[in-house]
Structure 1
């Protein structure tokens, strides 16, 4: 039996996202909302038409909620000690983001693929029952993970850039999954 492989999230990236980029984007969204609600407070940004006013309100509320949530989520990653992704003989445990799937056992895994969005590489784990995975998530994570199901076919997506990249993580998945298949006389191929 092979040992578990552990991956930590880059603390420098957490600090950048949680203490710099997140608050800046939240402040920008709040500024747009203030410009819509109190145009005299930010005269250079005041909306010039009712449609633009509506766009400001929607963008301001949505941006404040989204970027505020993600800022808090990034900062919460600093609190918890220990690895954020553990791959072992029975499956893997992902706690590397606000939409992490938690524990997934190899018997739930159907396959996986990489998905690239701009500079971010995600390991998308295809599971037998996506609804069961969604059911064990919190409401915000469930909402965001439903988007993953529509985009990549699964709610289990692990951002690899924060964990050392695909070159580090994929061999651990392949080794442990292949070992599980051999030990359980499975015929599932990835």
Structure 2
């Protein structure tokens, strides 16, 4: 069987990179306002500067990481998703599994929608094996998505792909996992 490689369109990655860079700059500006301490909102009073500094720094770190991730994703030779003859490799996001999920561990692949987006979702037989293969932050995020939003443990973000494309990828995964269509 041939390996299927799916990647996010470069145009989409540039948009995400640009938006992340813009938010990094805005966060730095908010942190600067907090640092200077000369700006005060009537509602917050003397708390304006400390809250601006804290939120600006948190935003700067978060969106700075986003810039780094989207830049690495843009220049990465790895596709966002690989469907090989042995399993599935998800490199689509910063919290992706990045290791192969063997077909023997795949219960079912489907398309799920949550928070207004469509995702390729994979239900696995041995969740602990998948959770043990990722970092603590990724593990927490995966568990939170599953428990709070009712998603599958593995959700794959493929920006720029239609629902029909996602359904086709789910069908290929199910076929290769021996689960039929």
| TM range, smaller chain | 0.7 to 0.9
Partner of 1:126: 123
Partner of 1:152: 150
1:68 to 60, 64, 68: 64
Shift of 1:69: 0.9
Matching of residues 30-41 of structure 1 within 5 Å: 30-40=28-38
Shift of 1:13: 1.2
Matching of residues 15-30 of structure 1 within 5 Å: 15-18=14-17, 20-30=18-28
1:77 to 73, 76, 101: 73
User: C-alpha separation between the residues in 1 aligned to 2:138 and 2:52?
Assistant: 26
Query: Pairwise CA RMSD of aligned residues?
Result: 2.8
Q: Does 1:56 align with 2:52?
A: yes
User: C-alpha separation between the residues in 2 aligned to 1:72 and 1:25?
Assistant: 13
Partner of 1:136: 133
User: C-alpha separation between the residues in 1 aligned to 2:54 and 2:180?
Assistant: 45
SS of the residue 2:93 aligns to: coil
Q: Where does the alignment leave 5 or more consecutive residues of structure 1 unmatched?
A: 182-187
Q: TM-score, normalised by structure 2?
A: 0.80
Q: Where does the alignment leave 5 or more consecutive residues of structure 2 unmatched?
A: none
Shift of 1:98: 1.2
Q: CA contact under 8 A between 2:81 and 2:88: conserved in structure 1?
A: yes
CA 1:149 to 1:54, structure 2 compared with 1: closer, same or farther past 3 Å? farther
Shift of 1:146: 3.7
Q: Deviations over 1:10-58 (max 9, x none)?
A: 111111211x111110111122122122123xx4879852444443233
User: C-alpha separation between the residues in 2 aligned to 1:14 and 1:140?
Assistant: 23
